[in-house]
Amino acid sequence: MIHKLSSEVKELLSIPEISQVGIVVRDLNRSLEAYREFFRVGPFTVFEPEYTDKMYRGKPEDFKMRLAIAPWGPVDLELIQPLQGKTIYDELLAARGEGLHHIGCVIQNLSGRIEIFQTLGLQVLQSGRREGASWAYMDTEPLAGIVIELIERHKV
């Protein structure tokens, strides 16, 4: 599918370098200990973000999650424990168990990027906003084998 796109569309779709790797876990505390001890990653910042404009598969959803983020070389490692509501994290846990969920890229013009993906038939799986950032997981797994998260940072 992608190889048949015009060079203009390919340029618009191009994703910058990876800035984040997201892993879904069932027990954040247990996972934090493992990543600290085994991989020597940390220190982690642990928090439960307050999101607005939360959407899951095109419908409003009151989901919550607990996150832990730490730099791991040139990228941030994000551990995600779903807490409440329907999420694509729960879908991964049910289908395959804990593990790699997405790669994230910081971009500009999130709404414009989403429109480009949607013209190619790639829909938003889940999205939200919080102070300082907006994000959207795009349904790229059938195309690329992994979900891509588009992250737009805002001035606070």
Give pLDDT tens digits for 128-143.
999 999 999 999 988 8
Q: Which pair of tokens denotes residue 147?
A: 């979900």
Predicted local distance difference test score (pLDDT) of residue 137: 98
Contact 76, 69 (CB under 8 A): yes
Contact 60, 86 (CB under 8 A): no
> Does 56 score more than 70 pLDDT?
yes
Report helix, strand or coil for 125: strand
Using a 10 angstrom Cβ sphere, with 0-12 exposed, 13-18 middle and 19 or more buried, the burial of residue 15 is middle
Bridge partners of 5?
A: none
> Does 79 score more than 50 pLDDT?
yes
Using a 10 angstrom Cβ sphere, with 0-12 exposed, 13-18 middle and 19 or more buried, the burial of residue 79 is buried
Of 3.40.710.10, 3.10.129.10, 3.20.20.140, 3.10.180.10, which CATH number belongs to 2-153? 3.10.180.10
| Whole-angstrom distance, CA of residue 39 vs CA of residue 36 | 6
> Does 17 score more than 60 pLDDT?
yes
Q: Which pair of tokens denotes residue 20?
A: 């984040």
Give the start-to-end residue ranges of the domains of the chain: 2-153
> Does 10 score more than 70 pLDDT?
no
Predicted local distance difference test score (pLDDT) of residue 1: 46
Mean pLDDT on 44-65: 97
Q: Has this prediction a pTM greater than 0.85?
A: yes
| Position 7 confidence tier, pLDDT thresholds 50, 70, 90 | low
Predicted local distance difference test score (pLDDT) of residue 66: 98
